[in-house]
């Protein structure tokens, strides 16, 4: 049996709750190296979805949800406009190391031509390794910056 091809599918507004739920898994994955507050309802607090709901995507493998991506048209760390920015990118653990992230990232980049910034907190070592690997062929310029008290690696490139 062959695995279905990963696809990046534009999320509809009625799928916002689905992405809100996936964000809980995304934040949980990061708690081993970054603290995220938990509200009185037992859910991680995440106040950025309104800001980042510009180009929301679901990552699908066949009929199965494999993750999500949120793309915005400005860089919140540098204030640069126009500039595409991967605000959030998450692939469920069951789909990692299978090319799903690389393929769907390629699809996102192909849909949004121009300058891109991808930023990762230095504390997120798994994401640093992932982004370095998948962006290597694009030869991004790399710089460190501090944003709201956290140190980040910013990778800039054009599509």
Q: What is the share, in percent, of the chain residues with pLDDT greater than 70?
A: 99
Q: What is the pLDDT of residue 158?
A: 96
- Strand, helix or coil for residue 67: strand
Cβ proximity of 49 and 20 under 8 Å:
yes
Burial of 98 (0-12, 13-18, 19+ CB in 10 A): middle
Q: What is the pLDDT of residue 34?
A: 83
Q: What are the structural domains of the chain? A: 6-158 (3.40.630.30)
Label residue 1 by pLDDT band (50, 70, 90).
very low
Reference 116, options 126, 104, 108; nearest CA is 108
Q: What is the pLDDT of residue 35?
A: 84
């Amino acid at each position: 049996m062959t695995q279905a091809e990963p696809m990046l599918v534009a999320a509809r507004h009625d799928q916002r709750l689905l992405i809100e739920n996936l964000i809980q898994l995304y934040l949980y994955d990061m708690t081993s190296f970054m603290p995220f507050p938990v509200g009185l309802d037992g859910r991680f607090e995440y106040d950025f979805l309104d800001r980042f709901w510009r180009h929301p995507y679901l990552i699908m493998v066949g009929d199965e949800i494999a993750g999500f991506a949120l793309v915005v048209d400005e860089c919140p760390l540098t204030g640069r406009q126009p500039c595409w920015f991967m605000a959030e990118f998450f692939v469920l653990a069951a789909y990692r190391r299978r090319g799903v992230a690389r393929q769907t990232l390629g699809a996102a980049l192909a849909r949004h031509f121009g300058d891109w910034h991808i930023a990762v907190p230095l504390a997120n070592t798994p994401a640093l390794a992932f982004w370095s690997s998948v962006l290597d062929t694009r030869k991004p310029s790399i710089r460190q910056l501090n944003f709201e008290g956290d140190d980040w690696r910013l990778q800039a490139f054009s599509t």
